[in-house]
Amino acid sequence: MSLSNCAVERAFIGAGCNRIVNNVSWGASNLVAFGANNAVAIFCPQKALIFTTLPGHKAAVNCTYWLPTSNIEPLVIRKAQQLGQHYLLSGDADGTIILWAVSLTDKKWRQVLTVPQPHKKGVTCISGIMFSSTEAIFASTSSDGTVNIWEIILPVTAQGDCKLSHLESLFVGSKTMVTLALAELPDNTGHVVLAMGGLDNKIHLYCGERTGKFVRACELKGHSDWIRSLDFSLPIGKNGAGETLLLVSSSQDKSIRIWKMVIRETSDDPERKGVIGLASYIEGPLFVYGLATYQISLESLLIGHEDWVYSVQWQPPITSTEGRGYLQPQSILSASMDKTMMIWKPESTSGIWMNVVTVGELSHCALGFYGGHWDPNGDAILAHGYGGSFHLWKNVGIDSENWQPQKVPSGHFAAVSDIVWARSGKFLLSVSHDQTTRIFAPWLTHTGDRCSWHEIARPQVHGHDINCVTAIQGKGNHRFVSGADEKVARVFEAPLSFLKTLNCAVSQESDVPENIQLDVQILGANMSALGLSQKPIYVHAAQESIERPDTEVVDTLETVPEAVPVTLTEPPIEEQLAWHTLWPETHKLYGHGNELFSLCCDHEGKLVASSCKAQTTSVAEIWLWQVGSWKAVGRLQSHSLTVTQMEFSHDDSLLLSVSRDRQFSVFSIERKGVDEISYELLSRQEAHKRIIWACSWNPFGHEFATGSRDKTVKLWSVVNKSSVKHLSTLPPFSCSVTALSWLGIDRQNNHGLLAVGLENGSIELWGLSAKLEDGCMATVGFTVNVVAKFDPFMCHASTVQRLAWRNSEKVEDCKSNQLASCGADNCVRVFEVNVSHC
């Protein structure tokens, strides 16, 4: 029997946002785009779910921009929606810009084109303007000192081609521009104004035609530090005449300036000509373009933020009550590194601009915001922060404004190095080079009819990049061991608050069994000042009220606020995750001489194996630790370089390890007493021509697979626990094999499914059908066939670091099984694999 095709569906994507300005864009489609390393991620704010990621960039994504955006005329947006497609531009750190298209009906994405003549260095900002539902101009700026301007003609049908033409390149010199804004000049003649700001503290205005020919118009001086954000309003005028254009700018000087551009009747003003006085400074510069003369003046100076203001944005226009035309709300959103977003509006009587709404994170959970964005309706605002996190507030007030935080997707903001399923597959643990450990789990809705995946805890926030993790199996409380760029492995145990939260996620009830409540006397954990060890908060201590003197400073950079662990009755938001869901550290495991690299636990929860980075045989030894006493009970020597992955066989009698030295080793493990084990090296073979990155045991026997940089996967069998025999080799892959995970399908016939992760982010499923020796059940080989190659829009955009099946054996009454993966694209993914007809 050979395995047929498998149906694969996307169940969950967790990812954090790249920590850079201009990385996020909220389009008129009500979808948010952001860069997650070299992938472009798309999420829906209403559902708090990441829909998909777009592979194509080779470097980190710096900026995104929707066509149409929400800050254009509503009539143009409606016409664009009738065409059934929206478009997205994304620019990366290599200077490449890609145009994507999404169908509004089936939400399917495709890569339309890569913009030719890329920048020589990273793209820092993309901005555009749509003249109609099919005509647009966009500009991009880069640290190479150039600003490129393009015209794009969008197709009327989904099958049509986009026409892209390069209009002009402007060289701005060594002091590069980091922000751009485009608008039509208020003269109804199709002239375009381009504003750019950057490192010279000035705003530069260029004017041009739709066909290009941009000329310098004037400079706006006033800011005393880098210009970080610019945004034009739609023209504001009497009776819809469009006589005034407003430009808002923000800077690292902590201020926001609003500039007003109006048409002057004539430039030959006898009172103005040749006179340089106070009035000329207040009125601002004049410039002539076409047949019109424009005057720019400083409308208002907004002071309120206490740190760099990274973004400013006008509230999107709304359709007028008559249904014709639009209204441009006099409302500006600003986001700053002082951890706040502010909404500014002019006071009704005096017209003075005031801060009317302030939202933000006023504790140590966030280190500032890189950008703020309006939703298309103007009733929700989104920020992305230093920790790769999103923060969403929605105005839920009826008679008055009431901005309340909302759920958003979350995830790691650096490469995810390892994942592991907890006991019984109740939740998924992931660790990352962003120095955090996170827990993702399905959360049952209040109706109880479906689950949606969310990050429900952040048990470890560390001071070093975390490389590996393993969950302790067997009975007892949930525990895990993590290893980072340090010589110590750290053991963590679930606090009572997490156990209640997990119970609530699974069954909507927060009560846990009384015996567990008696055993677990730790409610949560506090972070230490140096960010390494996490101290427990005991149940009886949390119940005592601690009175602080009024003079004591609670929230400063020098103090660390105490966590308040609580039982969560709904998926948590970032402020809760970042501080109040820590697990206490119970033990430290000392022994290794270098940074830890790999961890694994046996299936009974009795032994943990660990390895570290190594270049000699003595340092490359594998340490065995007794769970509970946490004593070192074994030091296994075999490899000469770093052991990259280890795994116990499913009967826990064998330990498999693979290494950079191109060899695998199989050790026999035998328990002789409570604290005593014996071990022996059964076999060591140079199995591949390059580094071996991955290994996985067959759940039904002593067969295992190894995957290597030499682009091959080989299948092996341990014979009589004395030697290892090579069974077969899968056909060569297109690039390095970096992750493997074996799922058992049919125990009687020894059939399985091998998940293979590649360096380019692809994932494949291979069916393995055992060939049994006549007269006995010994496996002499496997018949292999590929049963699924994941869609590129489902896969990672860079190296797959680890694969893990939720249950290593197919559950009989379950039609599908879940495969988890993590990658260098900052993403944790869970797939539903339908194995009912495999």
What is the per-residue pLDDT for 484? 93
Question: Residues 141, 124: contact at Cβ < 8 Å?
Answer: yes
Element (H, E) at 531: none
What is the per-residue pLDDT for 81? 82
Beta-strand relationship, 703-708 and 692-697: antiparallel
What is the C-alpha separation between 32 and 109, in angstroms, rounded? Answer: 14
Residue 782 CB coordination number (10 Å): 24
Residues 6+ apart with CB under 8 A from 641: 614, 615, 620, 659, 660, 661
Question: Residues 739, 598: contact at Cβ < 8 Å?
Answer: no
What is the C-alpha separation between 44 and 34, in angstroms, rounded? Answer: 12
Average pLDDT over residues 378-402: 89
Q: For residues 77 and 561, which has the higher predicted lDDT (pLDDT)?
A: 77
First to last CA, the chain: 10
As given in the structure block, the two tokens for residue 355 are 């801060």
Exposed, middle or buried by CB within 10 Å (0-12, 13-18, 19+), for 357?
middle
Residues 6+ apart with CB under 8 A from 106: none
Judged against a pLDDT cut of 50, whether residue 639 lies above it is answered with yes
Q: Could you tell me which of 462, 602, 469, 470 has the C-alpha nearest to residue 533?
A: 462
Within 13 Å of residue 280, how many CA atoms lie on the same side as its CB? 11
Confidence class of residue 519 from pLDDT cuts 50, 70 and 90?
A: low
Q: Could you tell me which of 20, 4, 38 has the C-alpha nearest to residue 826?
A: 38
Torsion 806-807-813-817 (CA) sign: positive
Could you tell me which CATH class the domain 416-543+561-837 is placed in?
A: mainly beta
What is the per-residue pLDDT for 289? 83
Q: Could you tell me which of 534, 533, 509, 537 has the C-alpha nearest to residue 522?
A: 537
The most confident of 39-43, 213-217, 559-563, by mean pLDDT: 39-43
Q: For residues 476 and 369, which has the higher predicted lDDT (pLDDT)?
A: 369
> Between vectors from CA 347 to CA 343 and to CA 351, what angle results, nearest 5°?
115
Element counts in the chain: helices (H) and strands (E): 6, 61
What is the per-residue pLDDT for 92? 94
Question: Residues 823, 831: contact at Cβ < 8 Å?
Answer: no
As given in the structure block, the two tokens for residue 187 are 């003269």
Confidence class of residue 815 from pLDDT cuts 50, 70 and 90?
A: low
Model confidence over 70-119: pLDDT tens digits?
888 888 888 888 888 899 999 999 999 999 999 988 889 999 999 998 88
Q: Could you tell me which of 665, 656, 674, 607 has the C-alpha nearest to residue 634?
A: 607
Mean pLDDT check: name the lowest of 459-473, 561-575, 579-593: 561-575
pTM of the complete model beyond 0.85: yes
What is the per-residue pLDDT for 776? 58
- Average predicted confidence (pLDDT) for the chain: 86
Judged against a pLDDT cut of 60, whether residue 220 lies above it is answered with yes
What is the per-residue pLDDT for 477? 86
Residue 777 CB coordination number (10 Å): 11
Question: Residues 86, 101: contact at Cβ < 8 Å?
Answer: yes
Question: Residues 305, 340: contact at Cβ < 8 Å?
Answer: yes
Judged against a pLDDT cut of 90, whether residue 243 lies above it is answered with no
What is the per-residue pLDDT for 324? 67
**What values do phi and psi take at 314, rounded to 5?**
-70, 145
Confidence class of residue 552 from pLDDT cuts 50, 70 and 90?
A: very low
What is the per-residue pLDDT for 200? 92
Confidence class of residue 508 from pLDDT cuts 50, 70 and 90?
A: low
Domain definitions of the chain by residue range: 304-409, 416-543+561-837
3-class DSSP assignment, residue 294? strand
As given in the structure block, the two tokens for residue 99 are 């145009």
Model confidence over 147-196: pLDDT tens digits?
999 999 998 887 788 899 999 999 988 888 999 999 988 876 778 999 99
Model confidence over 769-784: pLDDT tens digits?
888 776 556 777 788 8
Model confidence over 734-772: pLDDT tens digits?
999 999 999 998 888 888 999 999 999 999 999 998 887
> Between vectors from CA 380 to CA 10 and to CA 108, what angle results, nearest 5°?
30
Listing DSSP states for 627-665 in one string gives TTT--EEEEE---SS-EEEEEE-TTSSEEEEEETTSEEE
Beta-strand relationship, 353-360 and 340-346: antiparallel
Residues 6+ apart with CB under 8 A from 757: 694, 737, 738, 739, 740, 763, 796, 800, 801, 802, 803, 821, 823
